[in-house]
Amino acid sequence: MAVVRRVALVTGAAAGIGLAIARRLAKAGYDIAIADVDSGGAERAAQELRGDGRRTTAIACDVGDRAAAYRMAETAGRALGDVDLLVNNAGIARLGPLASFPEADWRELFRVNVDGVFFCCQAVLPRMAARRQGNIVNIASWNGKLGAPNFGAYSATKAAVISLTQALARELASHGIRVNAVCPGIVAGTPMRAQVERLGEAFGLPPSSERAKVIPLGRLATPEDIANAVAFLASDEAAYMTGQAVNVTGGLWLH
């Protein structure tokens, strides 16, 4: 019997949550295209998974560049075959009060966090629609469901990702394509968390170690917690789920 290979394209997968997702999907049997602006980190991650017996490819890509996103999808397809699962994980954070938030930071947040999701979806959808099968999981945030001081611009981008997820789910259901989002809470041990800690200190925000005390499950999330949620949404066990924005917050946010 021929082995049916499945291919996942994960953006921002050189480190942090993205790398944890790539590892988890490889464990689930996917061949993995690892895309990241950090080409060296992407190649190291690809080599790691290759060592575990998976077919992989590393792709340097700025997801906020539409042409680059299309090249990424084409490269992944040539190297591994049609993309069955797209995980839009690439993202950046900028903090500060909205009243004085720099226009350049605002535009860069939307370019990467929103345009990047939009362009990457557009890049893979023609082949998914032609095959009448596919799966997209977008990494949003619990901050996309509420506004918080100094996180307003970031929250706006993640709210946009949730809305894009819902609209795409409705548009693509008849084509056999499911679209869902994962909304992480406070995730420890990632480059973005380290950056947010540094930026937050300048605005008098409490460190994540203090914030963990108000999380009902009593701890911060790990990248693996998020990766497990992605793997579930990508699986046949979630075959009747689309258009959902699933919280992985340890009970910190319930809506």
Distance CA 68, CA 26 (A): 24
* Residue 200, token pair as written in the block: 């937050």
3-state secondary structure of 109: helix
Whether 88 and 116 have beta carbons less than 8 Å apart is answered as: yes
Known catalytic membership, residue 154:
yes
Calpha distance 57→42 (Å, rounded): 9
CA–CA separation, 67 and 74 (whole Å):
11
Residue type, position 124, single letter = V
Longest dimension (CA), the chain: 62
Query: 119: closest CA among 168, 46, 152, 84?
Result: 168
Terminal Cα distance for the chain, rounded: 45
Catalytic residue, chosen from 30, 70, 154, 240, is: 154
Closest CA relative to residue 243, chosen from 167, 151, 148, 134: 167
What are the distances in angstroms from CA 152 to CA 93, 120, 123, 247?
A: 11, 24, 29, 19
CB 95 within 8 A of CB 138: no
Task: Give the residue numbers marked as catalytic.
Answer: 154
